[in-house]
Each structure stands twice: as structure tokens, then as C-alpha cells.
Structure 1
Amino acid sequence: MRSTVPLAALAASAMVFILTGCGGASSDDKLSYEDSPLSQYLSAAWGGDLSPEEQQKKMEEQQTKVEDLVAQCMADEGFEYTPNTDTGTVVSDGGEWEPEKREWVEKYGYGFVNSPFSEQLEENPSEQESSDPNADYVTSLSESEQAAFYETLYGATPAEDELAEDGSYEYRWEDAGCQGWAQHEIQGDDPSQSEEFSALRTKMEELMTTMQDSPELADLNAEWASCMADKGEPGFTKQSEAGESIMEEQNKIYDEVYGDGSEPVDTEAADFEDPSEGPEMKALGERELELAVIDLECREKTSFATKSLEIQFALEEKFIAENKAELEAFKAAAEQSK
């Protein structure tokens, strides 16, 4: 059976789907996406009950244990492997992301072209540097040995007939090489992906659709769209479309240079031009700021953040009442798996 989206991911999406491009409620509003009624059941699966510091510590400790087991597994298969304890991930409290504040929006827009995270990396270049401790060893291997190394480490690449139409495939730790085995040894079975809760996953997916198609949200989007048109930005029907329009244009600029990824691009060539530094991207960045400010003004005028959360939370409360026993069972299983 093909794996569906994990419950944790569905829950996180459910809490912010309405606010794509605008984030949670502002400090002046009564509600925040953190007040989601579903979060009390599902936060156990994604660590939402831990502080950013606790999440970071837990992630680093697990990474160390996993990598030690990976090294053991690779050695058993005849390969050298140096544990890589650099996760490359930093858990944040979200302080860098404040798209409901005018000062932030005037500086970053939606955070796509003008990203606060890119700015952080420029200020702290050491954060960008993460070297693979196994790079020299892999380079010393023949081409066939390298292929065997990576297949042992990550498992064989799925065959074409194993892929879904969208390119996804069913993940099984048993097929994911030493990494899959080691992660399963440390983290155990993921209750959000287990067969026991497949029916609950399906219901969560249906909840997402119900939220997006709700008449109340349609009315709110129409009110926001009318405001946008009055301010010289017609053509949008949903609040999320504003930020998506910038992302789509950004992707087009990158696609013109990098294509679909099937052909390598020599970024070291003398005639290579970084699309992120080109005039088209600069113009798009200016457009992003302009559109995002107008979007923010219309969200504020329509109280979009608070009203959309009210719609979402009402649907969540109804969902909880109809599925309380399954949610309680999932919460218990998630807490026990920690």
C-alpha cells in the first residue's frame, strides 16, 4: 500500500494552509495558528510540545546515534564510513518570519526573492559550510564502487514502475539501505505512517479539502480580492494566489537557466550567469515588495488572519468531535514512540 502524507505533516499544513504567504495572526489579533484545536493531539508527532532548543538537542542526539549505527552497518558491508553528525538543520522559533508586520513585509515581501534566511547566511557564511566527511573516501573509489557505496548507504533507486504519477513512491525503511535501518533502530516505527492510522490519514486529507472549499473561506477571499482590485491588483481570487504568483515567476527565472534538472549546468563556466543575481530577479524582488505590502493592507482591512483561523478552528472542532477516539489513540501512540 502506498504511504500517504504523514499525519504530522497534514496537521502542520492544516494549521497554516489558509495563511500561505501571510503567516499566523498578528500580535494584535486574538487567535494564532498555535491555538489549533488539533495541535493537542498531533503535536506529539512533530515535536510541537518541545521548545526549539529541546527539538534541536533531540535532533542532534538522534543524528549522532543514527550515524554511529550507519558506520557499523557500512563496515559490515565492507565500506569505510565516517559518521556525519552535521544535520544541516537548525530548529527556529520562527522569529525570522514575521509576515504580518509591515516593517518585515516592506523589507522581505513574502520572503521568496528577498529571503531573511539568505540574509542570515550572508552574515554568517560559516553556516553554509557543511562538508561531507566521506567525500575523499568516495572519490577514491571506482565508479562502480561508488554506485555500490551509495546503494548500500541509501538503498537502490526505485524502479520506474514503483513510482506514482507525481514521481513519489512508497518509503520502506527496509529498502533504504543502512540509513533506513539505522533511523528505524533509533526512531522506531512512525505511528503517523502506520497502517493502524491509515483511515485517520484519509480523513485528515478530506479535512484539508473541506477547509479549502468552505463557503466561509470563499466569502473571505472574495472580500480580500475586492480590496486588492481597488488597490490596483485585480485578477486574484484567493489570498494565497498573491504570494504564489511571485513564486511561480521566480521558478520560471530559475528554469530558464537550470531547466528541469535532467541536464547538468556548469556553474563554473565563464559565461554562466547566476539567475538569482540577474536583472530579472531584481525586478521580481521589487515587484514582490510592492505586491506584498498591498496584500498585507488588504489582509488587515479584512481581518483575514483572524477570520480564516476562526473558520479553520471551527472545522477542526467538528472533526475532533467526530474522530476523538482515533485522535486519542494516535496521540498515545506518538507519545509512546518517543
Structure 2
Amino acid sequence: MSHHPADGLLPRASTRRSRERGAPRPVNYQPLRVTILVAAMALTGCASQTPTPEATATWPQDGPLSKAMGGILGRPDPQEMRTRSAALENEIAACMTEQGFDYIPVDYSSLFDAVDEERFVGQGTAEWAATNGYGIVLVNTQADGEPVPLHTDPNTDYAASLSKAESAAYRAALYGESKGLTEEEVESGESSYDPSTAGCSGIADEKVSGNESAFFNGPEFTVLFRAMNDIYADVKEDPRTMAADAAWADCMADEGYTDFPAPAEAADSLSSASNALFSDVGTPGDYVSPTREQLAEFREQEIALAFADFTCREQVGWQSTWNTVVFELEATFVDDHKAEIDEFVAAYHEARE
């Protein structure tokens, strides 16, 4: 399966999905419960899986930065997330019981089990795109072609049965009191997470994640994380990648696609149609799985665009140019930040002990 570039800039136990298109997601470590759910969604497509601009470029995972980080960076391991999810939910249930509420541990294992990774071998090539497009329909459907079933929370009915006051108390017990974002957080687009103020979810997070959670949410490496995120912006603005984008756009125009200045925009153009098919945008219970006819229609559109996209990438050497620039900028980054990276790696392993 291809990797998101930002996945290459995040420790294995922490990832998040960004709603912001065309910009790298900030490094902002989330509570483990959010991390697990988001990881499951990313692996199974229980949320719409239109590739983000970052995902349309296969960010090399064996570059200088990944090597310098000693294997810390990358996608979450499904088995690790599955195990931690179960432990976390059990801790939440115990805590909520102490608070006087019913809570059934949510089983997310089906989300991780829904996708066969072998179906994605070869993703990121014109050959694979000719059959699977970007993988949007593929990741949102099971092997038999039926849509991935919507995951349900067994606590929904109980929460809905509570009075308004009881519901507020329930949410406060589960997630902590909502304090809103500070002015600085609004301006920066980043927010901090303090498990000690996050109710039973935070208590469970600390028990399961321990020092690791505190480590990633601390301020010690904020500057380093932000500098890491800047690499992607620098890659996009490099004259070589800009020239590759222009050559790719000319090729796509020859194929009848004239609206896309870079590969990122091609994949992102499917966002609205994908969300309409696969996202539960109404109230709980309103979601209706797409029909086979709707899937077939979208799949035809997806494959046509993706095949043209990846064919043009291969014809103009877009990916090789991207990789060259990434490796060069990462090597420079590692040279400039060697001391901070070594300190980060050492602190990470200490937090894991």
C-alpha cells in the first residue's frame, strides 16, 4: 500500500487525518483512542478514502530521515493498534463504571480485519491504477464487492437514552470538560492534548500509553516536528518538482484533463463524489451504503482519471524527480538537525521502556 508523505513524518503510534487540502498536516499528537480509530479508518475505509494530495505522491520510506529516525517513522502497525485498542477500551469501561455510567468496550478489530493488504500490492503504478484507480472504491469495499459495513458504537443507544443533564455528565466523564481552543491554537492550526483533563479516555490513554503519550504531547520537540513538516512544503516549491508538475500537466491535457496543475489536484478532484458515496454526513442511522451501480459508475470515473494520472507520472519521470528532491532535502535536514534527531530518538526509546 502506498504511504502518505505525512506518514513518513509521524511516529508509528501516532497519526491523524487532515481535512486541509494542499498543505502538510501539522505534527499534533492525538489521544490514543483517536489515534486508534483514525488508524482503523485509514486502513479500512470506514470513512471516505479519497487520497489527499500527500497520498498521491509515494513518499519514500527509506530516505535519510527515516533512517536517521531508526524506524520510528511510518504507518501504525495494525496488530499493535488492535491490541492497544482492546486494552484502551477495557480501561475506559472500568473508569466509566467507577463514574457511575454504563460503558461497553468498543470492538474495533473488525475495522482492522476488513482490508487485505495484498489487494494493494502494486499501488502507485499505472498498471495497478488500470484495475483499481486510486484505491478509493477498493478500500471502501470488501473482497466480495459489497461496501464495508458501517461500524457502530454499542454505547450509542445508552447515551441517547440519557437526559440532557445526564448526557452532559456522561460526555464529561468520558472525554473531560470541553475548554475550547486558545487563540494561539486557532492561529497555528495546532492544539495540545492533556490526558489528565480528558476524562476516562485520558486516564485510559495514560495507563496504556504511559510515558509515550506524555512524550509525544510534550513541548520538548515541537520545533523539530514543525521543521520536519516543512520538508514537504519545500519539496513542492523546488524548481525540479515544479517542472515535473508542469510536464505532468501537459501530458494530462493531452489525455483530456486540463484542470489539474499537479497530481495532488487530480486525486483530490474526486473528493466530493467520494464523500457522497461513503461518508455518513447525516445524523446517526442515516447512512445508506452505495449500490453496486453507484460503485460501478464511480469506479469507472476513478480508474479513468487514475490511469491517466499514473501513466503521465511514469512518462515524465515525475516520481523519480520527487524522490530525488525528497532525498536531497531530507539529507540536508538530517545534517542540520542531527543533534536534535539523536536526542529525539533516544528520548523516544526511553519513553517506550
TM bucket by the smaller chain? 0.7 to 0.9
Q: Judging changes above 3 Å, is the alpha-carbon distance between structure 1 residues 193 and 209 closer, same or farther for their aligned structure 2 residues?
A: farther
Q: Residues 68 and 334 of structure 2 are in contact (CA less than 8 Å); yes or no, is this contact kept in structure 1?
A: no
Opposite residue 335 of structure 1, the aligned amino acid is H
Opposite residue 317 of structure 1, the aligned amino acid is A
- 2:230 is the alignment partner of 1:206: yes
Q: Which residue of 2 aligns with 1:35?
A: 62
**Distance in 1 separating the partners of 2:16 and 2:284:** 38
Point out the structure with max Rg over C-alpha: 1
- 2:172 is the alignment partner of 1:145: no
Q: Which residue of 2 aligns with 1:319?
A: 333
- 2:212 is the alignment partner of 1:177: no
Aligned-pair distance for 1:35?
A: 1.5
Structure with greater contact order relative to length (CA < 8 Å, sep ≥ 6): 1
Q: Give SS of 2:165's match.
A: helix
Unaligned runs of 5+ residues in structure 2 are 1-6, 18-23, 26-50
- 2:132 is the alignment partner of 1:108: yes
**Distance in 1 separating the partners of 2:324 and 2:311:** 20
Opposite residue 336 of structure 1, the aligned amino acid is E
Aligned-pair distance for 1:146?
A: 2.8
* Aligned counterpart in structure 1 of residue 208 of structure 2, from 186, 208, 227: 186
Percentage of identical aligned residues: 27
Opposite residue 70 of structure 1, the aligned amino acid is I
**Distance in 1 separating the partners of 2:116 and 2:331:** 26
Q: Which residue of 2 aligns with 1:240?
A: 264
Aligned residues: 307
Aligned-pair distance for 1:119?
A: 2.4
**Distance in 2 separating the partners of 1:73 and 1:136:** 19
Aligned-pair distance for 1:333?
A: 1.8
Q: Residues 155 and 175 of structure 1 are in contact (CA less than 8 Å); yes or no, is this contact kept in structure 2?
A: yes
Q: Residues 123 and 129 of structure 2 are in contact (CA less than 8 Å); yes or no, is this contact kept in structure 1?
A: yes
TM-score, normalised with respect to structure 2 = 0.71
Aligned-pair distance for 1:213?
A: 0.9
Q: Judging changes above 3 Å, is the alpha-carbon distance between structure 1 residues 211 and 192 closer, same or farther for their aligned structure 2 residues?
A: farther
CA RMSD of aligned residues (A): 4.0
**Distance in 1 separating the partners of 2:293 and 2:188:** 33
Aligned-pair distance for 1:75?
A: 2.5
Q: Judging changes above 3 Å, is the alpha-carbon distance between structure 1 residues 158 and 168 closer, same or farther for their aligned structure 2 residues?
A: farther
Aligned-pair distance for 1:167?
A: 7.9
Aligned-pair distance for 1:59?
A: 2.5
Tell which deviates more after alignment, 199-208 or 73-82: 73-82
- 2:220 is the alignment partner of 1:196: yes
**Distance in 2 separating the partners of 1:221 and 1:69:** 49
Opposite residue 308 of structure 2, the aligned amino acid is I
Q: Which residue of 2 aligns with 1:63?
A: 85
Opposite residue 296 of structure 1, the aligned amino acid is F
* Aligned counterpart in structure 2 of residue 20 of structure 1, from 32, 46, 55: 55
**Distance in 2 separating the partners of 1:58 and 1:95:** 19
Q: Residues 101 and 170 of structure 2 are in contact (CA less than 8 Å); yes or no, is this contact kept in structure 1?
A: yes
**Distance in 2 separating the partners of 1:187 and 1:78:** 25
**Distance in 2 separating the partners of 1:323 and 1:299:** 32
Aligned-pair distance for 1:324?
A: 0.8
Q: Judging changes above 3 Å, is the alpha-carbon distance between structure 1 residues 291 and 166 closer, same or farther for their aligned structure 2 residues?
A: farther
Q: Which residue of 1 aligns with 2:47?
A: none
